[in-house]
Chain A
Amino acid sequence: MSRRAPNIAVIDYGMGNLHSVSKALQRVCPSASIQVTANAASIAAADRVVFPGVGAMRDCMAEIRRLELDTVVKQTLRTKPLLAICVGMQALMAHSEENGGVDCLNLFPGRVKRFASPPGGERRLKVPHMGWNRVQQSYPHPLWKGIDQSSRLYFIHSYYVEPSDASLVVGTCDYGVNYACAIAKDNLFAVQFHPEKSANVGLKLLQNFAHWNV
């Protein structure tokens, strides 16, 4: 019996380190064909898609629109497994506070907010939220398979997602505030942490994604 090797597209809009994502996917799924691409046809031809992103939201959204990737992401969301990472996750929301306010893809109602130190607390919050923090899984999901509850994953971000629809939340994290660090709906899984930088725990999540049959 042979299962067809996954054909994974990593969306490239010129923002940050895509090398790591593709290398990590290749590591956990050696048979996969992985393309780092901005080409709409290539992304449409892939059977699963990763939507990464680092950097400032205004620049990210400008590049996404310039390369007409907004349509591509929307189509992917309707048709096949999609893993959004970090700014990729934030871009799915309606609006971000970053750069004085940026309209995002508006695929899910909700906002992207900046971390703020809790009022009156003697402990100041360092921003960016940088390092290994615990992820609480809200409910079982195929992408959490083999990953322990409260596992630590690597975060590096100053803004976090606040979806209007609480039922989207599949993972939470505490950093001054309890926030949604993972959301899921149908064939979408989106994470604020970096699975490609989270050692074996993160690689397990990428492996689950490479074999996820929605």
Chain B
Amino acid sequence: MSAYEDDGLCKRIIPCLDVDKGRVVKGVQFVDIRDAGDPVEVARRYNEEGADEITFLDITASHEARDITLHTVERMAGEVFIPLTVGGGVRELADIRNLLNAGADKVAINSAAVSHADFVRAAAERFGSQCIVVALDAKQKQDSTWEVYTHGGRNPTGLDAIAWASQMADYGAGELLVTSMDRDGTKNGFDLPLTQAISRAVQIPVIASGGVGTLQHLVDGVKQGEADAVLAASIFHFNHHSIPEAKHYMRERGVNVRL
């Protein structure tokens, strides 16, 4: 392990909460938590365990329930003093402003970036690149390239994922959240060639997402995928592994983490 790796910027471990109408879904199971459905309780637990950031994906379908999300973000930001990224249904500058005012540090834009790429540029100019994350969902094609999908992997876009990632960086995105739709939910590990190709194509940080089933997958995401951060949900939610356990495992394998 080089001295640089020991001393420089850490790789980040980011637990992700899927939240519907203010409640955590995909069943977080902590035995000793008062209300495992409350995103604020869960975020507080991850904060105590040493998570580097929290990502909050709002999967609420109805637009009317947005106020619940804003209220949840506000409560979370008042309790958890690490960075908070919020995504899901972000379509207008007003959505971003509302989330930032509620206490989000970064906002993730997904489908709206595809339908209206200039939205990313406008958002970065108005609020600064540092708070604009573009969430990119990709599936591998027969010819081994990757295509961007929207709406939770349902809609193909015809866009090449690597070219799209570069374009989003040029438009002012401050970070990319790269999810492999082939791997999401499989527990077979990240799509490492996808992660690596995007990380090399852009000069902004890349978060690997989709497929984590073991702690070794987190190491692989950083070492082979060259990701700057790794995001995972179920591996942490179900108490299979704690954040400190993940960090110790990664450090023993030469990954620079915050302990």
Residues of A whose CB lies within 8 Å of any CB of B are 16-17, 19-20, 23-24, 27, 54-56, 59, 123-134, 152, 154-158, 174-175, 194, 196-199, 202-203
Contact = CB atoms under 8 A, between A and B. Distances in A.
12 contacts: A16-B127, A19-B78, A54-B130, A125-B203, A127-B203, A132-B52, A134-B7, A174-B8, A194-B83, A197-B105, A199-B50, A199-B81
A154 B9 CA distance: 10
Given A199-B47, A203-B81, A130 B100 contact: no
A158 B132 CA distance: 13
B59 interface: no
B92 to A, nearest CB: 18
Nearest to A176: B8
Nearest to B51: A199
Given A16-B128, A20-B77, A158-B130, A126 B10 contact: no
Counting chain B residues whose Cβ lies within 8 A of the other chain, the interface size class is 35 or more
A41 B54 CA distance: 37
B82 interface: yes
Contacts of A125: 203
A16 B100 contact: yes
A152 B82 CA distance: 12
B129 A158 contact: yes
B77 A56 contact: no
B204 A128 contact: yes
A174 B105 CA distance: 23
A52 B221 CA distance: 34
Contacts of B77: 17, 19-20, 23
Centre residue among B47, B100, B101 by max chain A CB count within 10 A: B100
Nearest to B74: A19
B102 interface: yes
A132 B130 contact: no
Contacts of A202: 81
